Amino acid sequence: MKTEIVICLGSSCFSRGSKKTVQFIKDYIKENQLEDKVYFHGNHCSGNCANGPIVKINDKEYENVSPDNIVFLLDSILKKD
């Protein structure tokens, strides 16, 4: 089963820098050849703007996401095997 990564593309998360994280995740997937293992896409505002940017990985929500902290999440979730 693919790991689903969803990033909020709503305006609040955008103004908090989600765009940088979108690019970071794209590059990460490419660099680690995870295209077949990861389904990465954007979504609308989930209403948790105050804690954004918001990223969901397999339905678990992560708050205040930035390239600096998402790298640890991606490593721990995607580099298990």
Among positions 3, 49, 67, 77, the unique one binding ligand FES when judged by CB under 6 A: 49
Closest separation between CB of residue 69 and ligand FES, Å? 16
Among positions 3, 48, 66, 69, the unique one binding ligand FES when judged by CB under 6 A: 48
Long-range contacts of 72-78 (CB under 8 A, 24+ apart): 74/25, 74/28, 77/3, 78/3, 78/32, 78/34, 78/37, 78/38
Q: For the segment 7-46, give every residue that binds ligand FES (CB under 6 A).
A: 8, 10-13, 45-46
